[in-house]
Amino acid sequence: MAKILTADDSASMRQMVTFTLKGAGHEVVEALDGKDALQKAQKAQADLVITDVNMPNLDGISLVKALRSLESYKFTPILLLTTESALEKKQEGKNAGATGWLVKPFNPDQLLATVKKVLG
Amino acid sequence: MDIGEAIEATSGQDVAVGTEQYLTFIMADEEYGVDILRVQEIKGWDTATPLPNTPTYVKGVINLRGTIVPIIDLRQRFGLDTVPYGPTTVVIVLKVLGEIGQRIVGIVVDAVSEVYNVSTDDLKTAPDFGSSVTTDVVKGLATVEEKMIIVLDVDQLLKDSELVIDTEPHSDAL
Amino acid sequence: MSFDLTQFLQTFYEESFEGLDAMESALLNLDVGDTDSETINTIFRAAHSIKGGSATFGLGQVGEFTHGLETLLDQMRDGRRSVDQQAVDLLLRSVDCLREILTALKDSKDFDAERVAEVGKKIEAALGVEDTATPVPPNDVAATEGAASIIAAKGWEISFRPHVHLFRTGNDPVRMFRELESMGALSVVVDTAALPPFANLDPEESYLAWGLTLEGDITKTQVEEVFEWVEGDCDLTIEPMAVDETVELEAAPGVETQAVQEKASTPTAEAENGGLPGSAETVSEQTVVETKHSSPALTSVAHPVDERQEQRRGDDDRRQSTKSADSGSIRVGITKVDALINMVGELVITQSMLNQLGEDFDMSRLAKLQEGLTQLERNTRELQESVMQIRMLPISFAFNRFPRMVHDLSQKFGKKVELRLSGEQTELDKTVMEKIGDPLVHLVRNSLDHGLETPEARRELGKPETGLLHLNAYHQGGNIVIEISDDGAGLNKERILAKAIERGLVSEDENLSDERIYELIFQAGFSTAEAVSDISGRGVGMDVVRRNIKDLGGTIDVTSLDGRGTTFTIRLPLTLAILDGQLVRIGEETYIIPLVSIVESLQIRSENVNIITGKSEVYQLRDNYLPIVRLYALFDQVPDNTVLENGLLVVVEGEGQRVGLFVDDLLGQQQVVIKSLETNYQRVEGVSGATILGDGTVALILDIGGLITCSRRHYGNLENTKWASAKRTAAA
């Protein structure tokens, strides 16, 4: 199963994402914000990064840019968790190098479906 | 008899519907019973740390695996003559339900006796003892093997109001 | 797979309340006209998280309310809206509303829906005024649906020509093809025309193009969705496969479906149903799929409704379960947890070392054993300290509410106040923190109401118009000290004294020091506020404040300078779980006196003992006379001796008074773990709790304040009669 790095400043969202992914047998590394995610991403190679957009320290879009600049994350799928009211963020995220997105609110099944789409 | 084993043995067996099990103990030649489901354990008497400003029947507190548990002398609580504690003297540790939830309290009795099955039908309301303070703690009387057992309501027995601090100054001070 | 989202609610509530606190303090820091983007960003993020979480976890009311708020903040963040006092006030009120809604949901109670609606309207109104590009709700889904729900009778012909950088987005054509394959019969033709000669080939770039045919009853939307993420990263055409006529879904069931979709897409419908985790898009998607299989539209309608009912039932269950699960949790920094894990690691090492040593022990290895035991002791102590650390939180948690409170109250009282907070990072036990909140609120209110003067009065006195209220915290010994000081009028001695005489608290001819006069404000039923304001006159007096602090094992003192201000100083133990104690012995019993209460211990010299009116004993210690409390008498114990000279006097302080406790012997000093007597028994006067000593026996911990009250009753009121006159006689 895959190693997934998930970044969200909201503990409840992190909990839900982690719980869901672990339930599906994935290994999950949690990060509290973009900066934390960037550090953790470099410590251990993730197969997939799922990140929130609005985060302190380093926002999701900047995280994507930063990750894409790393040799080891050039082609790694990165999913943005974005809200309906921030549809323009999708384009911004894409421009930064995000693979795709999942629109909040989502439920665990939708999350798993999306992850499956990326990881095959 | 090892009461611990007795409890183990009896609590495991199927009990007929409408039957309750009581642990009985002896005090001043009378046999009293308490609902066995309320008995947490039985232990030998050991010294308790006395608590100031409390009724005399509160012997103090003991350490029960890290929990502070008050110990009540049931003879004194019932106004019976006190006898020196001897080798059969035991503390029955009870789970008591009060206004603030469950509490653990130990009662000192002369000796434990038996575990009996008592059918709820056999439990007769106790006659009115008049002004006796102990009436409300008697749930009923049961006859088992031609003996009378005074069944106690442990919740009433150790009701919050019964544990109220004696705030009167001790007359013997100074 | 079905998931129970309620398990995350507790965390959601916790972080939401934290978020609201953060919003509040950021709002209060937001000066009017200021567009410090980071501050606004912080506020926005908090609102955004609450909105996202509430939608995810099915709390519709919250999401609905937060939506407008978020939009408002978004406009501020982008500089499209100015930050004025009105807006800040509205945002603060919104924070209050959210807090109320969340608290109500958490406790399964009702909230003031009217007030919430009112604030909601205000937000709408504010948004209406600006009326700039409000984000379009996803209503357009339904609009595009008409075109998107076209299905080709046979299938689709897709031309997919990725741009060279496609791989850099993490997308993989193979993955997309696999997805298409799951929909119908797929055939793929690869176009290698753009492939450069091998020498020039950059493996990180994409040169291939594909022509695909997908057969089956598939909507264009479904196909488009597969390529959704690569839109703009490729040239894509999707054409109906054959010349067969395409069928537009204008048939009767289709129309019905359309209506349902629209309903499901309206935000209000979603909110009414307590918020459906599946977004509007999902619902319509489902509907289309169902219709495609030409099943009656009704079934596809029934499905989401069922789900909603399920959801609502889930809501009820959740309310029940959160209520019982709300046993109070604590969020701990990872560093603290890591420290703990390290220590447990060390403990395990020590344990295995001791194990080995014990396997074949002889006296030659005694030194090694002692060393091991010392190590064990150190490990245990460190572990204990670290575990205690988990309960420690910075006092900012208690201070955070004050900026808002001072903001509101100063407006109410027509006063200008600068609130200064310092030492916010000082840590104290979570339980202590929870219990110190109310007393602090009372003291701050008191300072604002009675302490600080109006700007006019201050101007006349030659003081700056803006009064200063300072909350400070720091550690001192094993205590945390919290100071609440103002530069207001100071306590009015004359008025306090007059009131105290009127209330019969002191007699007219008594000559009291300033300190004693100030102390009077802590007496029960004492209040000097001339006009009972709705803020301070709540029937909660300083006596309650002092009692609350006392219950925490703390003390409160007041100092005041006429016209210069008042300072309240609260001293609290850092934790309620552990106490530094002095073990003393009376007969066979061991008692524990909190070290903080001990002034000194001394051998009694008979020439210093005076007996007043033949009964009460006092001990002359330098210039003071201390009442002697024979603890054995108070506690009804049999002591080793009753002759004062043969015992020891432990001078303790509590209730603002010093007394000497007569004991048989001093044992050692040690940290003891406090166990409550109330768990299985109840409060006992003069005793604050119990502990278990090394030998397993129980020792009582003395409550000095309670003990003094108790002894006063024993010996008559020493304070106001014999004791006071003894002091005067001595002074004369």
How do residues C424-459 score in pLDDT, each as one tens digit?
888 888 888 888 888 898 899 888 888 899 999 999
Whether residue C47 is predicted with pLDDT greater than 70 in this model: the reply is: yes
Q: Best interface-test mutation with B: which of C586, C698, C700 has the largest number of B CBs within 10 A?
A: C698
Q: Do chains A and B touch (3 or more CB pairs under 8 A)?
A: no
Contact assessment for residue A29 and residue A40, using Cβ atoms and an 8 Å cutoff: yes
pTM: 0.46
How many other β-carbons are positioned within 10 Å of the β-carbon of residue C683? 15
Residues counted in chain B: 174
Whether residue B109 is predicted with pLDDT greater than 90 in this model: the reply is: yes
Number of H helices, E strands in chain A: 5, 5
Closest to C689 measured CA to CA, from C707, C705, C704, C676: C676
Give contacts of C105 with chain A, Cβ < 8 Å: none
Could you identify the residue written with the tokens 């994409």? C206
Instruction: Give the angle C428-C429-C434 at the CA atoms, nearest 5°.
Output: 100
pLDDT score, position B64: 86
Whether residue B116 is predicted with pLDDT greater than 70 in this model: the reply is: yes
Q: What does the radius of gyration of chain C's CA atoms come to, in whole angstroms?
A: 37
Backbone angles phi, psi at C667, to 5 degrees: -95, -125
Contact assessment for residue C280 and residue C268, using Cβ atoms and an 8 Å cutoff: no
Q: Best interface-test mutation with B: which of C615, C678, C681, C715 has the largest number of B CBs within 10 A?
A: C681
Asked whether the beta carbons of residue C634 and residue B52 sit closer than 8 angstroms, the reply is: yes
Query: CB distance from C92 to chain A under 8 Å?
Result: no
C-alpha to C-alpha distance for C722 and C646, rounded to whole angstroms: 26
Average pLDDT score over residue span B102-130: 83
Q: Best interface-test mutation with C: which of B43, B49, B67 has the largest number of C CBs within 10 A?
A: B49
Whether residue B69 is predicted with pLDDT greater than 90 in this model: the reply is: yes
Q: Best interface-test mutation with A: which of C2, C3, C311 has the largest number of A CBs within 10 A?
A: C3
Whether residue B9 is predicted with pLDDT greater than 80 in this model: the reply is: no
Joined tokens for residue C190: 């690869």
- Percent of chain C past pLDDT 90, that is, above it, reads 12
Whether residue C10 is predicted with pLDDT greater than 80 in this model: the reply is: yes
Closest to C35 measured CA to CA, from C79, C99, C92: C79
Q: How many domains does chain B have?
A: 1
The lowest-confidence range among B28-32, C366-370, C457-461, C523-527 is C523-527
Q: What is the CATH number of the domain that holds B116?
A: 2.40.50.180
pLDDT score, position C696: 81
In this prediction, residue C525 has a pLDDT band, given cuts at 50, 70 and 90, of: low
pLDDT score, position C66: 83
* Nearest residue in chain B measured CA to CA from C685: B53
Within a domain: B50: yes
In this prediction, residue B61 has a pLDDT band, given cuts at 50, 70 and 90, of: very high
In this prediction, residue C247 has a pLDDT band, given cuts at 50, 70 and 90, of: very low
Asked whether the beta carbons of residue B174 and residue C682 sit closer than 8 angstroms, the reply is: no
Give contacts of A101 with chain C, Cβ < 8 Å: 229
Give the long-range contacts of residues C690-696, CB within 8 A, separation 24 or more: C690/B49, C690/B61, C690/B68, C691/C579, C691/C581, C691/C592, C692/B63, C692/B66, C692/B68, C693/C583, C693/C590, C696/B63
Query: CB distance from B159 to chain C under 8 Å?
Result: no
Could you identify the residue written with the tokens 């914000």? A33
Within a domain: B174: no
List Cα–Cα distances, C454 to B114, C214, C443, C560, in angstroms: 78, 80, 18, 19
Give contacts of C12 with chain A, Cβ < 8 Å: 10, 12
> Are C150-240 and C578-731 equal in CATH topology?
no
Within a domain: B71: yes
Computed over every residue of chain A, the mean pLDDT equals: 87
Asked whether the beta carbons of residue C690 and residue B68 sit closer than 8 angstroms, the reply is: yes
B69 is in which domain, residue-wise?
3-8+18-163
C-alpha to C-alpha distance for C430 and C328, rounded to whole angstroms: 10
* Nearest residue in chain C measured CA to CA from A9: C49
pLDDT digits (tens, 9 = 90+) for C198-207: 777 787 888 8
Computed over every residue of chain B, the mean pLDDT equals: 78
What one-character-per-residue DSSP string does A76-95 give? Answer: --EEEEEEGGGHHHHHHHHH
Give contacts of C634 with chain B, Cβ < 8 Å: 52, 170, 173
pLDDT digits (tens, 9 = 90+) for C170-220: 888 888 888 888 888 888 888 888 888 777 778 788 888 888 888 888 888
Asked whether the beta carbons of residue C44 and residue A54 sit closer than 8 angstroms, the reply is: yes
pLDDT score, position C725: 40
Q: How many domains does chain A have?
A: 1
pLDDT score, position C724: 39
Top CATH class, C394-573? alpha beta
Backbone angles phi, psi at C166, to 5 degrees: -50, -45
Q: What CATH number was assigned to the domain covering residues C150-240?
A: 3.30.70
- Facing residue for C3 by CB, picked from A20, A54, A91: A20
pLDDT digits (tens, 9 = 90+) for A33-56: 888 999 899 888 999 999 998 888
Whether residue A75 is predicted with pLDDT greater than 60 in this model: the reply is: yes
Average pLDDT score over residue span B77-103: 85
State the CATH architecture for C578-731. Answer: Roll (2.30)
Asked whether the beta carbons of residue A13 and residue C171 sit closer than 8 angstroms, the reply is: no
In this prediction, residue C389 has a pLDDT band, given cuts at 50, 70 and 90, of: confident
Average pLDDT score over residue span C540-555: 79
- Facing residue for B173 by CB, picked from C633, C675, C687: C633
C-alpha to C-alpha distance for B77 and B6, rounded to whole angstroms: 27
C-alpha to C-alpha distance for C358 and A82, rounded to whole angstroms: 60
Q: Best interface-test mutation with A: which of C12, C48, C166, C289 has the largest number of A CBs within 10 A?
A: C48
Query: CB distance from B68 to chain C under 8 Å?
Result: yes
In this prediction, residue B128 has a pLDDT band, given cuts at 50, 70 and 90, of: low
In this prediction, residue C570 has a pLDDT band, given cuts at 50, 70 and 90, of: very high
Measure CA B127 to chain center: 20
End-to-end CA distance of chain A: 11
Peptide bond into C267 cis (omega under 30): no
Q: How far is A107 from chain C (nearest CA, A)?
A: 6
Asked whether the beta carbons of residue C229 and residue A99 sit closer than 8 angstroms, the reply is: yes
Please give the single-letter amino acid code of residue C597.
S
Computed over every residue of chain C, the mean pLDDT equals: 76
Backbone angles phi, psi at B131, to 5 degrees: -80, -5
The lowest-confidence range among A80-94, C126-140, C376-390 is C126-140
C-alpha to C-alpha distance for C578 and C592, rounded to whole angstroms: 12
pLDDT score, position B94: 92
Q: How far is A108 from chain C (nearest CA, A)?
A: 7
How many other β-carbons are positioned within 10 Å of the β-carbon of residue A92? 17
The residue ranges of every structural domain in chain C are: 5-130, 150-240, 252-325, 334-390, 394-573, 578-731
- Percent of chain C past pLDDT 70, that is, above it, reads 78
Measure CA C303 to chain center: 40
Which has the higher per-residue pLDDT, C584 or C554?
Answer: C584
Top CATH class, C5-130? mainly alpha
pLDDT score, position C665: 93
* Nearest residue in chain B measured CA to CA from C615: B174
Query: CB distance from C7 to chain A under 8 Å?
Result: yes
* Nearest residue in chain A measured CA to CA from C205: A75
Closest to C560 measured CA to CA, from C514, C617, C629, C609: C514
pLDDT score, position C279: 39
pLDDT digits (tens, 9 = 90+) for C326-365: 346 777 777 778 888 888 888 888 888 888 888 888 888 8
Within a domain: B171: no
- Percent of chain A past pLDDT 70, that is, above it, reads 97
Give contacts of B50 with chain C, Cβ < 8 Å: 589, 635-637
In this prediction, residue C56 has a pLDDT band, given cuts at 50, 70 and 90, of: confident
